Structure 1
Amino acid sequence: MRTRRNIWITAGLLTMTLLTAAGQTGDDELLAVRESVWRAWLVNDTKALARLVPAETVVLSTGEEQWKHQAEVFRESADFRASGGKLIRLEFPRTEVQHFGDVAIVWSKYILETETKGKRSLSSGRVTEIFVKRNGQWTNPGWHTDSEK
């Protein structure tokens, strides 16, 4: 009887471990895509941006009255790179993910350090990002950033 109970306990723990690992693998893929979007923007990787940031993208950013769309995202990436901007540090110290079928909402705190013309700039804040899985690939059609006080 004791052996049967131990088998059931072991089977239950194994099932929970596998389910957790399966969910984690999905989030790992999603978070890798999220980081790819940020890094593609910072180096003006237009091929990656075109694949990951669709035409219907909407972006809201701290202190900016106007909402941005794909064209502005691409232009600002090109402007950042043309001005000599480069990434020093990108961190997401806290992240939570919610899945709704082929849609995921990623809630994060971020730290971003860049350098332009020898001058470093550090920004941090919160970001809410929307991801949609299309044809097996996560895309990032919208996000909203705010800065920390």
Structure 2
Amino acid sequence: MKRKWNSVTIIAALLGATLSTAKVSAQQQKDAQLLRVREAVWRSWFADDTKTLEKLVPPGTIVISAGDKEWKNQAEVFRAAAEFHAKGGKLIRLEFPRTEVQHFGDVAIIYSKYLVETEQEGKRSAISGRATEVFVLRNGQWTNPGWHTDAEK
């Protein structure tokens, strides 16, 4: 009888481990998709890819950026991207050396350190800082309705 219970215990433990691994794998896939969308938002801004920005940065967006006195809305985010691109601005490098994600149902918060190198009028400049970004899953698509960035000094 004891041997039978040991077998049941082992089977239950293996099943639990398998289910736990499946949950972790599903979460890793969800995070990978989320992080691809986050990167698309950043790259689309620097490229002034309005079509992608409209898909990923919804109306009602609120943005707090390092050094800006006023908060931005969706239209101002799009306008800033257009101005950067119109002045010949180019993204040279985009890195997120540290990223952590928290999930709350259909809402995810991404905390990151970032490094951005750009070129404008033949001059390169780099900034680094921290970002807190809010993402919401709507109709199967992650959107980015808000973020806050700061710059390291």
TM over 0.5: yes
Task: Quote the offset at 1:100 in angstroms.
Answer: 1.1
User: 1:35 and 2:39 equivalent?
Assistant: yes
How much has 1:7 moved relative to structure 2?
4.4
Report how far residue 4 of structure 1 moved.
6.0
Report how many aligned residue pairs link the two structures: 149
Identify the match of residue 99 of structure 1 among 79, 99, 103: 103
Q: Indicate the residue corresponding to 1:69 in structure 2.
A: 73
Aligned to 2:120: 116
Aligned to 2:86: 82
Q: Distance in 2 between matches of 1:101 and 1:3?
A: 37
Bigger radius of gyration: 2
Give the alignment's TM-score, normalised by structure 1: 0.93
2:136 maps to: 132
What displacement does 1:68 show?
Answer: 0.5
**Structure 1 runs not aligned, ≥5 long:** none
The CA RMSD over aligned residues, in Å, is: 1.4
Of 8, 15, 20, the match for 1:16: 20
After superposition, give the CA deviation of every residue in 1:31-90 in whole Å (9 maximum; x if it has no partner).
Answer: 110000001001000100111111101100111111111111001100111111111111
Structure 2 unmatched runs, 5+: none
**Deviation (angstroms), 1:9:** 4.4
Q: Distance in 2 between matches of 1:114 and 1:71?
A: 22
